[in-house]
Amino acid sequence: MKKKNFFNSKTFYLLFSLFFAIVLFLNANSTKIKNNGSEKTAEQYDITLNDIPVQLKVDEKKYYVSDYDTEVTVHLSSYNRLRLDAEEGEITRSFKVVADLTKITEGTKEVELHIEGLNNSVEAEIKPKKISATIEKKVTKKLEIKPNITDEQISEGFSRGDIEIEPKTVEITTGERILKEIDHLVVELPEKTVLDNDYSNYLPVKAVNIKGQPLSIQSAPKEVKLNVKVYKPSKQVDLLPEQQGSLAKGIEQVKIVLNVNKVRISGLKNEIDKISVLRLPIKVSDVTENKTYTINLSKIYTSYSVEPQTVTVTLTPIFKTETKSSDSAEASSGSTESSQPSSS
């Protein structure tokens, strides 16, 4: 009986195929491990985003939420630099921080924050991870607004005039408890504002309690127009006319009459403190007959304001008495000559 060659047997081929398959498996696994290792050693990028708004999930028709952190910090990390750059920009950002209040009842509760819409290649960490929020039944009411302007917000030497608010009444939305605490609505000048001129601007409406502490509301409209009239330092001074120019021939003087003899000047305190009288130049050259005209004082005095802004001037020339006497004498002499009888 002829002995079979082992290397030509089916058993050999089976064993060889199994060995080859094991080698291929080990090689593929080794490559994968190597690739994973290279991923782990790749550079990781990190950014920290501040003031990321917290978005609430709540039944807005029924509830009003207050006393919560409206912004948080989010730390992002990724191996994908381009994706991270996109998340850094407000316009290209894909994620949002959400506080889900849909299953929370009324009262002050602590709720965990989570991120929605973040790309899978980016990891995120929120600080703080939880926020406290007060949930109340929503109410609306119309209330009148009061201005709040202190003396310290008017520049030294200046005085405050009329204050107008447009509109005077707004509709607010808030919680039941908060509404009971509201003393009044107020509109205030921006912090550190000191007025030395008339003021007009749109400013937010605020609600305060009896102690002046702010309360959470939503106002419609959010801002109202505040108009404040501010008067500069002022005082009353004499208005004195001063002749300028040479008198016309035969004119002894020109009588000047103003329709006002006192005016009120206003401006910077250090400027008007120097002034006790306003001297008004009046040109009398070539005045040979009565003349009346108006002068715009604001064009003459430019360093401060003058009220009234215009003054009416009346000029009356007074002729020399010598001229009148001479004319009278000549006339008298002529009359005498004509009255003498003829020698013939």
Question: What integer pLDDT is reported at residue 164 of this predicted model?
Answer: 95
Q: Which CATH class is domain 234-322?
A: mainly beta
* 3.40.30.10, 3.90.228.20, 3.40.50.720, 2.170.120.40: CATH of 138-231: 2.170.120.40
Specify the higher pLDDT residue, 333 or 214. 214
344/341 Cα distance (integer angstroms): 9
Running DSSP on this structure, what letter comes out for residue 195?
Answer: B
What are the contacts of 95-100 at 24+ separation with CB within 8 A?
Answer: 95/119, 95/122, 95/124, 96/53, 96/55, 97/52, 97/53, 97/54, 97/55, 97/72, 97/126, 98/54, 98/55, 98/56, 98/57, 99/54, 99/55, 99/56, 99/57, 99/68, 99/131, 99/133, 100/57
Sheet of 277-283: strands edge to edge? 277-283, 234-244, 262-266, 305-307
Question: What integer pLDDT is reported at residue 256 of this predicted model?
Answer: 92
Q: Does domain 45-136 have CATH number 2.170.120.30?
A: yes
Amino acid at 311: V
In contact, 47 and 76? CB cutoff 8 Å: yes
Question: What integer pLDDT is reported at residue 201 of this predicted model?
Answer: 96
Binning pLDDT at 50, 70 and 90, where does residue 344 land?
Answer: very low
Q: Residue 310 pairs with which residues in a beta bridge?
A: 296
Binning pLDDT at 50, 70 and 90, where does residue 20 land?
Answer: low
Over the stretch 104-121, which tens digit does the pLDDT of each residue have? Answer: 888 999 999 999 999 999
Distances (CA, A) of 272 to 58, 208, 295, 299, 304: 62, 41, 21, 17, 8
Question: What integer pLDDT is reported at residue 303 of this predicted model?
Answer: 83
Over the stretch 232-258, which tens digit does the pLDDT of each residue have? Answer: 888 899 999 999 888 888 888 889 999
* Beta strand 234-244 pairing with 277-283: parallel
Number of H helices, E strands in the chain: 6, 22
Max CA distance (Å), the chain? 208
210/183 Cα distance (integer angstroms): 5
The DSSP-derived string for 94-143 is --EEEEE-TT--SEEEEEEEEEES--TTEEEEEESSEEEEEEEEEEEEEE
Over the stretch 266-316, which tens digit does the pLDDT of each residue have? Answer: 888 888 888 889 999 999 888 888 999 999 998 888 888 899 999 999 999
143/147 Cα distance (integer angstroms): 13
pLDDT at 26 > cutoff 70 = no
172/220 Cα distance (integer angstroms): 6
For the chain, residues classed under CATH 2.170.120.30 are 45-136
Residue 95 token pair: 């994620």
Residue range 71-89: average pLDDT?
92
| H or E segment to which residue 91 belongs | none
Binning pLDDT at 50, 70 and 90, where does residue 343 land?
Answer: very low
Binning pLDDT at 50, 70 and 90, where does residue 219 land?
Answer: very high
Question: What integer pLDDT is reported at residue 105 of this predicted model?
Answer: 85
Question: What integer pLDDT is reported at residue 325 of this predicted model?
Answer: 47
Residue range 191-201: average pLDDT?
92
Q: How far apart are the first and last CA of the chain?
A: 208
The b/e string for 20-45 (b: 16+ C-beta within 10 A; e otherwise) is eeeeeeeeeeeeeeeeeeeeeeeeee
pLDDT at 342 > cutoff 50 = no
Map residue 196 onto helix, strand or coil: coil
For the chain, residues classed under CATH 2.170.120.40 are 138-231, 234-322
pLDDT at 265 > cutoff 50 = yes
| H or E segment to which residue 165 belongs | strand 159-166
Strands (E), 221-339: 223-231, 234-244, 251-258, 262-266, 277-283, 291-296, 305-307, 310-319
Residue range 203-232: average pLDDT?
95
Residue range 185-207: average pLDDT?
94
262/275 Cα distance (integer angstroms): 13
pLDDT averaged over the chain?
84
Burial (CB count within 10 angstroms: exposed 0-12, middle 13-18, buried 19+), residue 160: middle
